[in-house]
Amino acid sequence: MNVGRQLTRVLSVASMVAAASVDAQDVTRIVVEPTRVTMQAGQTVPLKITAFDAQGKEIANPSIRASGPRGSIRIADGKLTALRAGSFTAIVTSAARGTTPVTVEVPVLVTNPNLAKLEIIPEPGALYVGTMLAHSVKGAHADNSARLDLRVNWKSSDASVASVDRFGNVSAIKPGPVVITAEAEGATARKEYRVQANPVAAITLDVKETTVSTGDVVHLNAVARRANGQPVSDAKVSWTYQYQPDDTTAAPGGPGIVDRAPDGTSLFAANAPGQYTLQAQVGSAFARTVLDVKPRDVKRRITVTGRGVVNTTATSDLWPWTGKDGRDYCLVGTWGGDGYALVFDITDMNNIVKTDSIRIDARTINDVTVSPDGRYGVLTREGASNRVNGVVILDLANPAHPKIASTFDEDLTGGVHNAFATNDYLYAISGGQKYIIIDVKDITKPKRVGEYRYPGARIHDLWVNNGIAYSAQGGIGAVIVDVGNGKYGGTPQNPKLVNVFPIASGHEIYPYFQKATGKTYLFLGDEEMSRQGRVWEGTNYRATLGTAGGVAQTSGGYVHIVDATDPMNMKKVGRYHLEDYGSHDIIVEDDVLYQAYYDGGVRVVDVSGELLGNIAEQRREIAVFKSYDPKGHTANAPFVMNAMPWKGQVLFTDFNSGLWAAKLEPKPKVTP
């Protein structure tokens, strides 16, 4: 798993990080040119960053990080790109550990180009008396680039026929012609309507469910009909609900969700138990049905069974596998641990035993992974003394005592934060800029066969399933590429882009194929290593990060859930959001989400069935465990990096205390 990819950001905003390959302590001065930037949204300008040591000598390939507010400015490949208008600050800093970093702030003023055109996008449906249709606008500049955050003035030519509010909702009042106008920054768009008398006399409902659990998705089907029973196909059916809480909960602010599926049909899901009266309406015609929503009863106890204690350095990633000798093992990386990787025998989860350690030239082994056939393992390198980095490939013929089979560093000198192993190919992320595809059929002679790079993005995480690569790329979102599936013409030697889902998240990704519904969901994690701007801003831990003791870390961000069943028509449908903690690595198996939630611990969550809304509010959490350890690297400071299911149990690594194993206890039988 592409795990342990924490601590690469200096700010809570998405960052575009420069190649990290020398010790940050070498940097004593940073010069950024220009010192102030004024530009238009959509433009890209050069940004030169030069680092100097204590003797005033320029440092080649310094460990420098440059970042800006997510969705506002992007810094990558020596260039700064403006994404939206506003006044921002780009921050360039040395990636110091245990010392005060050198930091330079660059003011960035971004203005908008002139708006060239405006287009009104109406909601589907006819405008009948008593109905309302929503309208949005799409603006573009002269080069056809999109204008975001438009302030639009809406007008109706005859408010007695149809009125329009400040959000573009048009309400039909009486029959007649009307023109709806949108105006923004001198550009104008018009939409003509002829309001008609409402032909709908009745609504027929087709909602099969009468009793569901919180989080269950209900498909809201309704047909508007004339007095003679004929359907009115262009009538927009609006759905609302009334809520009566049950005796087990107080009504939260938003007890339920009405939304639209990617195919346009209406959906409903309840966050809280109780009775929901669902109402379909077209003008004066309406129909109702009542849903009885029960609490989702999935809670189970979680019990620690074993430990692989690591408290002399920080722990990063883990990957379990079954060795050629039939026993089970787990490979564990260290962060800032002088290049040590650890091997544990986990055959007996009640008695985890360390069998060996492997030391390589690296400051941090952020990610570890093992091929599905258990033939080879991989250690990623960051902060190598020779500034070469790359990956180390392990021969797992003797799984208790792996041997180094080879190293590979071609085009990987910027540091490898994450990698993904298949039986024949290894995908290694190069300095956050692209992934290199390596043929590892012969692990003693790995060879580069291809690469994929999405322009202007900062790639952080990658999973490959059935020849399709799913990557989380900062500033862009989810990038889907054919790397051997063939459906979209891609091969490992010649990858082909399938599609991109733009979303303000680009740290973790996991594609999950749900058998029961036939849906493909992408789970995308944020990872925000600072809580700046939140109600609880957290702690100042950076001066002691990576050292024994110190202050407990805090985090922010959450997991986004995207329906990617049709990769050409994707939609965000839900999230797993806990405000006080931040998300990290993600695995889903058999409709259960195993979530490393940093200081929020390891969290096991039911993700069965169709998903809609914030699943954290729907009583879907099965179990939560926070790995407090008074003898930890930082005492009693849970910070879970990675969690994976393994043969009926849960394995996870904590930054401060090493490897843990736990099991979910069976639900107790109900005694009448």
4 in Cβ contact with 527 (< 8 Å): no
Instruction: Report the distance separating Cα 52 and Cα 622, nearest Å.
Output: 52
Length of the chain: 672
Same domain as 590, residue 517 = yes
Of the residues 90, 111, 132, the one at which a domain ends? 111
What distance in Å separates the CA atoms of residue 423 and residue 406, rounded to the nearest whole number? 16
Q: Tell me what pLDDT residue 476 has.
A: 86
Please check the confidence at residue 21 and state whether its pLDDT lies above 50: no
pLDDT band at 536 (very low <50, low <70, confident <90, very high): confident
Mean pLDDT of the chain: 90
pLDDT tier, 247 (very low <50, low <70, confident <90, very high otherwise)? low
Are the beta carbons of 44 and 81 closer than 8 angstroms?
Answer: yes
Q: Does the pLDDT at position 250 exceed 60?
A: no
Residue 246 pLDDT > 80: no
| Same domain, residue pair 177 and 237 | no
* Domain match, 86 and 53 both: yes
Q: Tell me, yes or no, whether 551 and 633 share the same domain.
A: yes
CATH number at residue 30: 2.60.40.3450
pLDDT digits (tens, 9 = 90+) for 475-494: 789 999 999 999 999 999 99
Kindly write down the DSSP assignment for every residue of 438-478, as one continuous string.
Answer: EE-SSTTS-EEEEEE--TT-EEEEEEEETTEEEEEEETTEE
Q: How far apart are CA 639 and CA 538, in angstroms?
A: 14
Query: What is the per-residue pLDDT for 24?
Result: 42
Torsion angles phi and psi, residue 24, rounded to 5 = -65, -25
The answer as to whether 487 is a domain residue is no
The answer to whether 582 and 621 have CB atoms below 8 angstroms apart is no
Write down the pTM of the prediction: 0.86
For the residues 202-206, what does the mean pLDDT come to?
96
Q: What is the pLDDT of residue 433?
A: 87
The answer to whether the CB of 627 falls within 8 A of the CB of 660 is: yes
Say if residue 256 is in the same domain as residue 220: yes
In angstroms, the CA 268 to CA 637 distance is 39
Going from the C-alpha of 292 to that of each of 209, 221, 260, 269, 436, the distances in angstroms are 9, 18, 21, 12, 52
Q: Are residues 135 and 220 in the same domain?
A: no
pLDDT digits (tens, 9 = 90+) for 135-172: 999 999 988 888 878 899 999 999 999 999 999 999 99
- The torsion angles phi and psi of 184, rounded to 5 degrees, stand at -155, 125
Residue 502 domain-assigned (yes or no): no
Instruction: Let me know whether 106 and 126 are in one domain.
Output: no
Can you give the CATH number for the domain in which 242 is found?
Answer: 2.60.40.10
Span 25-39, average pLDDT: 89
What is the token pair recorded at 634?
Answer: 């930082």
Residue 376 pairs in a beta bridge with 395
Q: Which whole number is the average pLDDT over 499-524?
A: 94
Together in a domain, 78 and 104: yes
Domain match, 19 and 122 both: no
Residue at 591 is within a domain: yes
- In sequence order, which residues have a C-beta less than 8 Å from that of residue 431 and are 6 or more positions away? 19, 20, 412, 413, 414, 415
Please write the tens of the pLDDT for every residue from 653-671: 999 999 999 999 998 887 7
Same domain, 217 and 191: no
Beta-carbon contacts of 600 under 8 Å, excluding residues fewer than 6 positions away, are 555, 578, 580, 581, 582, 624, 626, 638, 640
Structural domain total, the chain:
4
- In-domain check, residue 252: yes
Highest mean pLDDT among 66-70, 498-502, 578-582, 665-669: 498-502
Confidence of residue 352 (pLDDT cuts 50, 70, 90): very high
Same domain, yes or no: 516 and 623: yes
Domain endpoint, select from 81, 96, 111: 111
- SS3 (DSSP) at 634: coil
Residue 478 lies in a domain: no
- Return the closest-CA partner of residue 46 out of 32, 58, 60, 59: 32
* 29 within domain boundaries: yes
Domain boundary, last residue among 72, 93, 111: 111
Question: Mind listing the pLDDT tens digit for each residue in 258-297?
Answer: 887 877 789 999 998 999 999 999 999 999 999 999 999 9
B/e letters for 84-106, b = 16+ CB within 10 Å, e = fewer, are bbbebebbbbbbbbeeebbebeb
**With contact defined as beta carbons under 8 Å apart, do 8 and 17 qualify?**
yes
The domain in which residue 25 lies consists of 15-111
Q: Is residue 319 within 8 Å of 659, Cβ to Cβ?
A: no
CATH number at residue 171: 2.60.40.1080
In this predicted structure, what is the pLDDT of residue 12? 28
Residues 6+ positions from 667 with CB-CB distance below 8 Å: 299, 300
Domain-embedded: residue 226: yes
Q: Say if 402 falls within a structural domain.
A: no
User: Residue 586 corresponds to which tokens in the numbers above?
Assistant: 């993600």
Report the Cα–Cα distance between both ends of the chain, in Å, rounded.
44
Copy the structure tokens of residue 64: 């420098």
Contacts of 552 (CB under 8 A, 6+ apart): 539, 541, 599, 634, 636, 637, 639
CA-to-CA distance for 597 and 586, rounded, in angstroms?
9
Q: Are 632 and 656 in contact (CB under 8 A)?
A: yes
Q: Are 107 and 121 contained in the same domain?
A: no
